[in-house]
A and B are shown apart, each in its own frame.
Chain A
């Protein structure tokens, strides 16, 4: 049985599978934009690293939609 951990996503506590990747969370929480700003414990995550970045208990994740209007 897979274990779950508590993480904070955009300020809300969420239960997610242990070692879930950022890619998984993006799909799971339907953050649809191809361009997205992701912060993992205050650190910017490059899009190329989404698949490899795993979350653990207590991590803080922020998904921010970039602003491209002018």
Chain B
């Protein structure tokens, strides 16, 4: 791997001086490829942190345009972006933040037909979608490509995060095997999205750096009403239709 430039030494100094990162870690971050599924409340924050940390290759996808009622939490988008495609607005901000990152922005709905291509050769999936159905697609891509899927979700004053690692931990459908009834417009305060996406971003950087201590089979449940963080122990579901290879073989 090419050495870090003097500019990179300066820019990433505060993380390079961390023993867990160092020069080697920064090179790993520079070579990392991350797919961020959605640039709304969660994606705004995780995309900012991935770009700020110097993640070399960031892919983002979203189908929506910026709406005025997004702005209380979707901090990548500003007032003048109302009406713009979210990925265009995101691309502009991320480039301003860190022009060294290669960013691929796709303004498309994530569907069964395009999900594999959208995820491409990314080494991990950062979940920032707003519905369970898209999460099922991301989960299937994660299992079939054998790459980690960092799930994050928010609702009201609560957030949840866990890191699904194919072959090692439970998967999204181990926990949620049913088709979810989608709620329209969930209520949410900005910092709940920020907190949840920050935990996800930390998980992503740890994965890139090859660090331990991940949220494996631990579903972190954040309740901002009384500021409690607790963990729900989860396990692989032997009856899972997605990650149980024997069952998958039968289908």
Contact = CB atoms under 8 A, between A and B. Distances in A.
A46 B182 CA distance: 21
Given A43-B233, A48-B237, A65-B155, A70 B180 contact: no
A65 B221 CA distance: 10
B181 A67 contact: no
Nearest to B217: A44
A47 to B, nearest CB: 6
A33 B186 CA distance: 14
A70 B43 contact: yes
A47 B41 CA distance: 29
A70 B232 contact: no
A68 B155 contact: yes
Interface residues of B, number: 40
B237 A46 contact: yes
B128 A70 contact: yes
A25 B234 CA distance: 21
Contact of B160 (A44, A47, A48, A66): A66
A51 B221 CA distance: 25
Given A34-B180, A34-B181, A35-B180, A67 B154 contact: yes
Interface of A: 33-35, 37, 39, 42-44, 46-48, 64-70
Interface of B: 38, 40-43, 127-132, 135, 152-155, 158-160, 174-183, 186, 188, 193, 219, 221, 232-235, 237, 239
